[in-house]
A and B are shown apart, each in its own frame.
Chain A
Amino acid sequence: MLTKRIIACLDVRGGRVVKGVQFVDIIDAGDPAELAHRHARGGADEIVLLDITATHEGRGTLLETVKRTASQLFVPFTVGGGIRSAENAAAVFDAGADKVSINSSAIARPELIGEIGSSFGAQAVIVAIDARRGNADPHTAEVYVSGGRKPTGRRVVEWAREAEDRGAGEILLTSMDADGMRNGFDCELTRAVSEAVQIPVIASGGAGSAAHFADVFKAGKADAALAASIFHFGVTDSRALKAEVAAAGVAMRLPC
C-alpha cells in the first residue's frame, strides 16, 4: 500500500542548519549532512534542505553543502531556496539533489517549471506555495512570495492548478497562518488544494503532534507532511511519531 510520507526539513544558512525560535532568534542547530543522515536513519521518508541564505556568496557554500549531504543519503533529497533559473537547478542536481523546490521564481516566471521539468523530469520539480487566508474560505487563500513578505494577489488553488498544468511534480503548501504555531496543519486549505490537483500535495506549517499529522493526512488529504520545528534539537527519530500516526489509521513506512 502506498504510504503517506513524513518529510524532515532542514533550514540552512551559510552551510549550517539554523532554527528560528519565534522566528527571531536564529540558533545554530548543527551540520546539515550529519542531521540529514540522522533523520534518514531515524525513519524520515524524505529530506528537504531549504537554503535561507540571501547572499550571492552563500550560493557556492550551498552547493558544497548539498554535495556533502547527498553523498551518502539514499532517500529522496530536495533542495530549495534561491533557484531562479534552469542553470541554478542543474547545478543543484549535479551536486546530488533529486528534486528542487521553487517558489518566488516560479511566480515571477512560471515557464521555469517546464524548463526544469523538460531536462530533469516533472518528478524533480516541486512548486512551493506560501499561503495566507486568515479566517477566510480556503479557496480565497492568497499566494505570498519573498519569504512570505509580498502578497501577489493570486489565489492559491488557481496557482496550484497552473503549476500542475505547467509540469510541476508536487506541490509544497505552507500555511503562513499555521506556520510556527504548532497548533496543527491547515487541513481545510490542504484539502482544497489536494482536491484541485492530481499531483501529490505536501502539507507544511503547524506541526506540533502526531495527531496533527494524522489529521492532515485524513481530513486534509495530504500525500506528505513536512515538519521542521517538531524535530527540535536532538529529535531526529521519526519512528515514534510514525508509529503514532499509523496507530491513528494512516499507512506509514514502518519499520524503517
Chain B
Amino acid sequence: MIAVIDYKAGNLTSVVKALKFLGAQDVVVTQSPADVLRADKIVLPGVGHFQATQLLEDLKLTAAVREAVAEGTPFLGICVGLQWLYEGSTESPETRGLGHFAGMCERFPLTFEGNELKSPHVGWNSLENVRADSRLLRGVNAGEFVYFTHSWRAPISEDTAAATMYGGAFTAAVERGNVMGVQFHPEKSAETGMKVLKNFLELAGC
C-alpha cells in the first residue's frame, strides 16, 4: 500500500492519478499515522505554504514518518514535501521540518549576479549534476527538463541527487538511503517525471 499523506496543502489529484497510471494498485490518501506505519511506501506531496506542514506534527504524522523511515520504508517528498525533510524554512520559521537533511530552505534572492530574479520560479528547468548512484533518478540524464513552481528552495549538500540552476544552484532532488525528495513536480514533468515516479514505485523496501 502506498500512503499519500494529505495535510490539506493543495491538490493531491494529480499525484494520485500519476501513481495509478503507472500501475500502483493500492494508493491510500490518508491523515492517519497508522496508515503511514503500515505503508510499503510513503509519498508527501504538497504545494503551498511551509506552515501547512505544522498539521503533520499536530496529527502525529511526523513521529509516524520518522518511525517508518527508520524501519526502511521508502519515502518521497514532493515540492514542499521535499522542503519539509530539511530543518525548516524561512517561509515559516516557527514550523519545524523533519530535520532528516541538514540546512534551511530559503527564498530565492531578489537579484542574482546584478540582475533582477523573478520569483516564483515557474516552468521547465533542467536537472544538472545528476548523481550516478541515485536510485530515484535512475535513467535520468543531466539536461532533462522537469516542471517547477516554488519560491523557496533547499540548499545543496552531499545528499543532493540533482541540482537545478536558478539564481544559483539549489537542490532539485535529494536522496539518502530510503528517504528522497524532489522540488519539481514529477506528476507534471512528462516522460522524465514519470520515469522518476516509476523508479520510486519499483524500489524495494530495505
The answer to whether A123 touches B122, judged by C-beta atoms less than 8 angstroms apart, is yes
Interface residues of B in 1-22 (CB under 8 A from A): 9-11, 13-14, 17-18, 21
A123 and B120 contact, CB distance less than 8 A: yes
CB <8 Å contact, A96 and B147: no
Interface residues of A in 1-60 (CB under 8 A from B): 1-5, 40, 45
A70-125: which residues lie under 8 A (CB-CB) from chain B? 70-72, 74-76, 93-96, 98, 119-124
Of B10, B18, B121, the residue contacting A121 (CB under 8 A) is B10
Instruction: State in angstroms the CA–CA spacing of A253 and B120 once bound together.
Output: 19
Binds A, one of B24-32, B54-62, B91-99, B186-194: B186-194
Interface size of A by Cβ–Cβ distance < 8 Å?
33
A223 / chain B contacts, CB cutoff of 8 Å = 118, 122-123
Q: Is the CB of B11 within 8 A of A124?
A: yes
Tell whether, in the assembled complex, residue B123 and residue A5 are in contact, meaning their CB atoms are under 8 Å apart. Answer: yes
In the complex, the answer to whether B13 meets A120 with C-beta atoms within 8 Å is no
A130 CB within 8 Å of chain B: no
CB distance from B15 to the nearest CB of A (A): 11
Among B47, B150, B165, B193, residue most surrounded by chain A Cβ atoms (within 10 Å): B47
Residue of B nearest to A252 (CB): B124
Chain A residue numbers with a CB within 8 Å of B125 are 1-3
Whether the pair A94, B118 counts as a contact (CB closer than 8 A) is: no
Given known A71-B17, A253-B124, contact A199–B194 (CB-CB < 8 A): no
| Residue A200 is within 8 A (CB to CB) of chain B in the complex | yes
CB distance from A109 to the nearest CB of B (A): 22
CB proximity of B122 to chain A, nearest CB, Å: 5
Residue contact A123 to B149, C-beta cutoff 8 Å:
yes
Cα A253 to Cα B17 in complex, Å, equals 24
- Pick from B121, B145, B187, B194: contact of A256, CB under 8 Å: B145
A198 within 8 A of B: yes
A142 and B43 CA atoms in complex are apart in Å by 46
Q: Find out whether the CB atom of A96 lies under 8 angstroms from the CB atom of B14.
A: yes
Residues of chain B with a CB closer than 8 A to A75's CB: 147, 188-190
**A207 in the interface (beta carbon within 8 A):** no
**A224, CB-defined interface residue at 8 Å:** yes
Which of A2, A74, A123, A223 is most buried by chain B, counting CB atoms within 10 A of its CB? A74
**A121–B48 touching, CB < 8 Å:** yes
Our pick among A4, A98, A169, A256 for the contact of B14 (Cβ within 8 Å) is A98
Other A-B contacts than A70-B13, A120-B10, A169-B122, 16 sampled, CB-CB below 8 A, are A1-B126, A2-B166, A70-B17, A74-B190, A74-B194, A75-B147, A93-B13, A98-B188, A120-B47, A121-B48, A121-B49, A123-B120, A198-B119, A200-B118, A200-B120, A200-B122
Residue numbers of A with Cβ under 8 A of B are 1-5, 40, 45, 70-72, 74-76, 93-96, 98, 119-124, 169-170, 198-200, 223-224, 253, 256
18 example contacts (A-B, Cβ-Cβ < 8 A) are as follows A2-B121, A3-B123, A3-B124, A3-B145, A5-B123, A45-B123, A70-B17, A72-B21, A75-B190, A121-B47, A121-B49, A123-B150, A169-B149, A199-B118, A199-B120, A199-B122, A200-B120, A223-B122
